[in-house]
Amino acid sequence: MKTPLASIAWVVIGTVVGSFGALFLKIGAGYLSRNLKSLLTNWRLALGIGLYLFASVFYVMGVRNGELSVLYPMVSLGSVWTLLWSKLVLQELITRPKVVAVGMILAGCVLLGLGSR
């Protein structure tokens, strides 16, 4: 079975959507406080959860016609996008160990993909 380009596109778009979900979860987490009203009106958190769920729809669409071994490694691309938004939006420090770690996680997922063929 060959993995169609469309399946790869679904999964890659899913990782981008999911990384924005994580970004809004982080921003929303900054607005958490111990009262119900602030939780219910925390639109950033709601947007983050929504984007997270939305991303899973893309994964399901991708996995339907594609091989898991090809798509598996791609899901870890989400870490790369998240590192990017962490720097650009949240102004977090992207240190060398973080870059090395994400590189290793990507490499590990590629190996998992190869091993799942």
Partner 1 sequence: MQLATATAAAKREHQTRAMLAVLLCTFINAASQAFIKLGTASLGAHPTMVQTALGIVTNPLLFAGYALLGASTVLFVLALRKGELSLLYPVLTLGYVWVIALSVAFFHDSMNPLKAAGIAVIMFGVAILGKNSTA
39 binds partner 1 (CB under 8 A): no
* Angle between helices 96-115 and 77-88 in degrees, nearest 10: 160
- Of the residues 3, 7, 15, 82, which one makes contact with partner 1 according to CB under 8 A: 82
* Angle between helices 5-29 and 68-75 in degrees, nearest 10: 30
Total residues at interface with partner 1 (CB under 8 A): 46
Q: How far apart (Å, rounded) are the C-alpha atoms in residues 33 and 24? A: 16
Nearer to partner 1, 3 or 86 (CB): 86
Q: How far apart (Å, rounded) are the C-alpha atoms in residues 15 and 56? A: 9
Closest CA to 68 of 13, 5, 116, 110: 116
- Min dist CB 23 to partner 1, Å, is 7
Nearer to partner 1, 13 or 50 (CB): 50
Name the site residues for partner 1 (rule: CB under 8 A): 19, 22-23, 25-26, 28-30, 32, 45, 48-49, 52, 72, 75-76, 78-79, 82-83, 85-87, 90, 92-95, 97-98, 100-105, 107-116
